[in-house]
Structure 1
Amino acid sequence: MASVVAMTSCGSDKENTTSVEKVPGFDLSSLDSTQKACDDFDSYANGGWKKKNPIPGTESRWGAFGILDKENKEVRLKGIIEEITNLKDRKNGSEEQQIADYYKSFLDTATVEKRGLEPLKPYLDKIESVQSLKDLASVTGELQKVGVSTVLGFGVEGDLRNSKMNVLYEGQDGLSLGEKSYYERTDSSTVKVRNEFVKHVDTMFGFASFKDADPGKTVLDFETKLAKLQLTNVELRDPIKTYNKTSFSDFTKLAPDFDLKTFADKQDIKTDTVIVQNVAYIKNVNALLKATPLATLKLYTRWQLLSNFAGYLPKSFDKEDFRFFSTVMRGTKQQRARVERAIRSTDGLLGMPLGKLFSKKYFPEDDKKKVSEMIENVRTVYGERIDKLTWMSDSTKARAHKKLKAFTYKIGYPDKWKDYSSIKIEGDKLFENVIAASLFQNEENVKKIGKPVDKSEWHMTPQTVNAYYNPLNNEVVFPAGILQPPFYNRDADDAINYGGIIAVIGHEFTHGFDDQGSQFDEEGNLKNWWTASDRANFDKLTKKYIDYFSGIEALPGFKINGALTIGENVADLGGLTLAYYALEKSLKGKPEPAPIDGFNWKQRFFLGWAQVWHMNTTDEALRNQVQTDPHAPAKDRINGPLPHLKEFKDAWSCGEGSKMVLPEASRVVIW
């Protein structure tokens, strides 16, 4: 059961810090002195780093986030898991037993190979028994319960218009390639992906000894028809357009031939209300299902089942799944070793129990206090920036201040931990372990329907290298995983940290006032708090920024989608602005900081931002990102906002004709 309300995010042994080697604030070898800061700041600040850090064969992109994630998982979590597996007595049902036995089951490839497709047989038999659309609704509902997609899906979140209460949401689903543009574009690289997808489905069906003729073409044809009915990823950003609250009985009438009540009943859903993402889509899907041969729908459902669990099946399935979704789609050359994948799979399934141990070992309370101080510093500066705005009226400023004051935050790890003891994990049953975890997640979600929102809940594990803003809680969340170098470095000068973690903090704060977040009030409700003229001014500024990014070509024939990335781009621009002036504020009344390595504090601030986003990316991953990801490519998260900042121009003494400088009339200043 997937989340349907978007949380907007950015993407050393702490027990004995005295023995840990200090990390430099900025490594001079990262620079490329043959480049000019005012022409291409990414190449100047990160060119040396990029040459020294080619993309590992196991990755599709390689940068600060991935490197720290690898350290957190393949070193720190690995150490924790190995300690647990070496324990002699593990109480059955304890977190230690669950972690150790799941890890063991993932590594037990002999049993996985021996069992073959036997774990899937009960589900395959049910699919084969389907004789009508009502039967299909029943079977696909049961499959949804264990994480297998079909043409639509349910999720449970706070009600956008009553954020204190949880409600059921319905949304479009079912595209193997992830986004409708993959089914529509006619350029050679996208056509190649579709052709490879057909081969991939054919190969997987061959491994399974399914006897269908041309299964790949059948699946692609059906998904292409489905894609035509769906909203674009840009349209999905509109919370007003996608909020259609209705009674559950009226909802079921939208698809009279596909039994939506049975579909929901099989997922243990009980509710009187549902928020429909797109009413027309439900009606059109009903017509599509009715017009499609039942044999095709059964084939498609078998494909979704096979694809969803490929990573837990024998090596032939797992390897082919990697070949298509990682190599073809993202350019990853080789699969990680099984032990590394076992760590990541255990983290994916039991991330919070692992996070409890990770936090205890690697996140000191001193860091929590320091980050709290930084957040309050950003809040103060944001208030000052609001007061100085020339495009916003006093009445809207008052509401903006109210929302800013109501911001809450979470740092490091949850104050209370969920109880996972009911998940039955066995050391020789990988597939059943995955099913048990999926059923636990489904039960946890459906129990929330109609109940008050638990505002203490976290939507990321503590070891995650990321942060997020939740508009329904009006909160920013910073897991322990990201509060490490190069994002936060206790040994670095302030300028580097302000350009790093404080810009990230400012980024998350700004999400509360981006094109989506600005539509929610201080209590997290979808409610207009703007005057009409202020909203028009804001929309004019964001439209200008959309057009600016839409003109940037990430790869030949693939331009950035400015409308899709506007939220993240506004947050980057705001985060940089807030962090810069927070740093400036912190220096008032103090002596000017001495240059470090020949760079003054203003220049080091921007070097701090650049090193957070240094990255090498495969062309395949870049194409996929431009089509599906609301974040701009890393290079453009550096070079994109900087020409709009007079502060950057002044810091590096860039002339008006420099490539990293825009004419004043072309600059966008929002917050």
Structure 2
Amino acid sequence: MSIKKAGLLALPVLLVGAAAFVQGPPTKKAPAKVPAFDLSSLDRTADPCTDFDQFANGNWKKKNPIPGTESAWGSFNVLDKENKEVRLKGIIEEISRKSNLAKGSEEQQIADFYRSFTDTVTIAKRGVSPLAPWFDKINAVQSLSDWAKVTGELQVYNVPTVWGFGVEADAQNSKWNALYEGQDGLTLGDRSYYERTDSVTANVRAELVKTIDQLLQLAGFNDPHPGQTIMDFETKLAKLQLTRVQLRDPQKTYNKSNYAALKTLAPTYDWDAFTAAQGLKPDTIILQNKEYISGTDALLKSTPLETLKLYTRWHLLSHYASLLSKPFDDANFHFFGTVMTGRKEQKDRLTRGIRATDGYLGMPLGKLFAKQYFPESSKQKVSEMIENVRTVFGQRIDQLSWMSDTTKKMAHAKLASFTYKIGYPDKWKDYSSIDIRPNTLVENVMNAEKWRSEDNLAKLGKPVDKSDWGMTPQTVNAYYNPLNNEVVFPAGILQPPFFNPDADDAINYGGIIAVIGHEFTHGFDDEGSQFDADGNLKNWWTATDRANFDKLTGRYADYFSRIEVLPGFNINGRLTLGENTADLGGLTLAYYALKNSFKGKGEPKPIDGFTWQQRFFLGWAQVWHGNITEAALRNQVQTNPHSPARDRINGPLPHLKEFADAWHCKTSKMALGDTSRVVIW
């Protein structure tokens, strides 16, 4: 769970952070079968009606401590490691052994990027020099207008400042791309880190101040108390920003404005210099928060120019510190790796090189990954699963007692218009213009980031290309995009424990089908439900039905907000509402899709002493088993829209009568009474 800059629009909606259907390259030996459910994971001393996670996963968690290089360890991490550190490693190392690769070819780019990351001798010799031209530009700033220009230039390279631009489908006209503006610029990623008064969070702030001092001193700067100066400025900036819960409301963050009106909101700031530096000539912009723009303009006006220059110098250095020589890399890791997430040590350099290559050249690598690990035949299997879920969702809509026929008709229309992507893109982008060389790591990253920025901004004012993907094929995840009204399943998530060809249906339905149902439900969660069948931000509900829905989801949010994960740190039920709703919906849809599949065949007999109903829930628990450091857990509940893994297991299950019936639970922590359960979809 790393710190990321605040998004411009809360899209797409992610499952989390999985890998391929599973035929690898031909081998002489048949691949080992993966157990449907490993019985050794069970803690039979635990009561499933009291703590189902402990019952299903207690021994797995005991046998699988968090590796020192990780902040969390569970199904997603294991699959991600297999995809990146085994499969991609093999692909990259094979390419790297080749010589005379054509300049601009994907193989040349992959091989030379990897070489540049692993060439620690050259990296050490270069020190901080790759950033020197940019430091010179910052130092030369003589006015707020100059500062706007330089920060605009740095935006092209993904270096944060107080706000940023991005191009995405217009939420009220989803067939066309529009320019969005959004808040940004907090090193700690979220305003809660600047506001909380507990000792743990105060220590995080103190550690950041020390890290800023250390890194800037390493870079040769001698500003007095730079860490505290930046902390003070960012604290003022944080107070102006929307919370992550507020950012979840697309109605409030969609404020279409013409460019002249934007300039009126922030008259001190030189918007022309900022936009021109990015090659933009905006006409209209969708603003995230007008008050933030005005408030930040006033803050910039009252802040000494030297402080703004220091702030920008820090964000440039912080953004690239992990790519510089070892002292910079180590100091950066100590804070962002250890302090923020509890990791004890870095991965080895070669492994980091594999992951960095994937991070910046993920699609070229994805093309090779998909070809080797995801057969075309798998798409048909997943398509059938998706259609099964669509059928059940339609049946569930018909059965709703809280929704009128008028709104049900619109819900069916949206459900029918859902589209989906499976595995990998049908067409691949051309990356050949990115200049990658074997001994210039920082420049390679800058060139890749510049390509991304220019590719994104070039979409402005053009029709939306619905063939675009928001994830690489090897990614262990899935997502729903409300603007396209589509669900997307990369090849990476389509393997055990999500989908296991050796498992019985109950385990697979608790895994991959619940994942599919999760993404479908995102189209009808508190955010997705505000978009219509065409992907436009448009109300399709009657007032009474919307009130009923809000009452149900409000109860569910309150339920999760009462869950304390660490002393003083509770789940934010409003922040996690979309994901929690999707988990509840995904489980419900998958359960009844499984039940439907037995029609005409009869119910299966128990396996390993567990009924199909019990195995379904064991399948869900297996997907989410995991351990997490306290630092990462604190970070997650403050910044992440997903509940911790343990609560993705134990959280929704008490609201499912099907779970209580399966495990013969009387009213208990894992089995709420009829009046306490929340049934949404």
Query: Which residue is equivalent to 2:13?
Result: 8
How far, CA to CA, are the matches of 2:265 and 2:544 in structure 1? 38
Residue 588 of structure 1 deviates from its aligned partner by: 1.3
**Residues 179-221 of structure 1: CA distance to partner in whole angstroms, max 9, x if unpaired?**
0000000011101101111111011111112010101100100
Alignment of 1:176-215 (within 5 A): 176-215=187-226
Query: Which residue is equivalent to 1:661?
Result: 671
How far, CA to CA, are the matches of 2:441 and 2:251 in structure 1? 42
Query: Which residue is equivalent to 1:636?
Result: 647
Query: Which residue is equivalent to 1:556?
Result: 567
Residues 252 and 260 in structure 1, CA contact (< 8 A), matched pair in contact too? yes
Alignment of 1:386-425 (within 5 A): 386-425=397-436
Residues 2 and 155 in structure 1, CA contact (< 8 A), matched pair in contact too? no
**Residues 578-604 of structure 1: CA distance to partner in whole angstroms, max 9, x if unpaired?**
000000000112132121111110000
Secondary structure in structure 2 of the residue aligned to 1:482: coil
Alignment of 1:148-547 (within 5 A): 148-547=159-558
Residue 270 of structure 1 deviates from its aligned partner by: 2.2
**Residues 281-301 of structure 1: CA distance to partner in whole angstroms, max 9, x if unpaired?**
111111000101111111111
Residue 3 of structure 1 deviates from its aligned partner by: 5.3
Query: Which residue is equivalent to 2:19?
Result: none
Residue 2 of structure 1 deviates from its aligned partner by: 8.0
How far, CA to CA, are the matches of 1:319 and 1:478 in structure 2? 36
Amino acid at match of 2:607: I
Secondary structure in structure 2 of the residue aligned to 1:425: coil
Secondary structure in structure 2 of the residue aligned to 1:309: helix
Residue 258 of structure 1 deviates from its aligned partner by: 1.3
Residues 193 and 205 in structure 2, CA contact (< 8 A), matched pair in contact too? yes
Identity over the aligned pairs, expressed in percent?
A: 68
Residue 446 of structure 1 deviates from its aligned partner by: 1.3
Amino acid at match of 1:638: I
Residue 86 of structure 1 deviates from its aligned partner by: 1.3
Residue 13 of structure 1 deviates from its aligned partner by: 4.7
Gaps of 5+ in 2: 17-21
Query: Which residue is equivalent to 2:663?
Result: 652
Residues 518 and 583 in structure 2, CA contact (< 8 A), matched pair in contact too? yes
Query: Which residue is equivalent to 2:587?
Result: 576
Using structure 1 for the length normalisation, give the TM-score. 0.99
Q: How many residues were matched structurally?
A: 670
Secondary structure in structure 2 of the residue aligned to 1:164: strand
Secondary structure in structure 1 of the residue aligned to 2:251: coil
Residue 15 of structure 1 deviates from its aligned partner by: 3.4
Secondary structure in structure 1 of the residue aligned to 2:487: strand
How far, CA to CA, are the matches of 2:454 and 2:281 in structure 1? 12
Secondary structure in structure 1 of the residue aligned to 2:25: helix
Residues 271 and 450 in structure 1, CA contact (< 8 A), matched pair in contact too? no
How far, CA to CA, are the matches of 1:156 and 1:252 in structure 2? 19
**Residues 487-529 of structure 1: CA distance to partner in whole angstroms, max 9, x if unpaired?**
1111110000000000000000000000000000000000000
Secondary structure in structure 2 of the residue aligned to 1:240: helix
Residue 134 of structure 1 deviates from its aligned partner by: 0.4
Query: Which residue is equivalent to 1:88?
Result: 99
Residue 566 of structure 1 deviates from its aligned partner by: 0.2
How far, CA to CA, are the matches of 1:112 and 1:240 in structure 2? 47
Alignment of 1:599-610 (within 5 A): 599-610=610-621
Residue 571 of structure 1 deviates from its aligned partner by: 0.2
How far, CA to CA, are the matches of 2:445 and 2:577 in structure 1? 36
How far, CA to CA, are the matches of 1:543 and 1:228 in structure 2? 26
Residues 2 and 154 in structure 1, CA contact (< 8 A), matched pair in contact too? no
Q: 1:120 aligns with which of 120, 128, 131?
A: 131
Residue 383 of structure 1 deviates from its aligned partner by: 0.1
Note the aligned Cα RMSD (angstroms): 1.0
How far, CA to CA, are the matches of 1:583 and 1:43 in structure 2? 25
Secondary structure in structure 2 of the residue aligned to 1:14: coil
Residue 576 of structure 1 deviates from its aligned partner by: 0.1
Are residue 37 (structure 1) and residue 60 (structure 2) matched? Answer: no
How far, CA to CA, are the matches of 1:13 and 1:398 in structure 2? 41
Using structure 2 for the length normalisation, give the TM-score. 0.97
Residue 89 of structure 1 deviates from its aligned partner by: 3.3
Are residue 614 (structure 1) and residue 622 (structure 2) matched? Answer: no
How far, CA to CA, are the matches of 1:208 and 1:559 in structure 2? 39
How far, CA to CA, are the matches of 1:118 and 1:618 in structure 2? 36
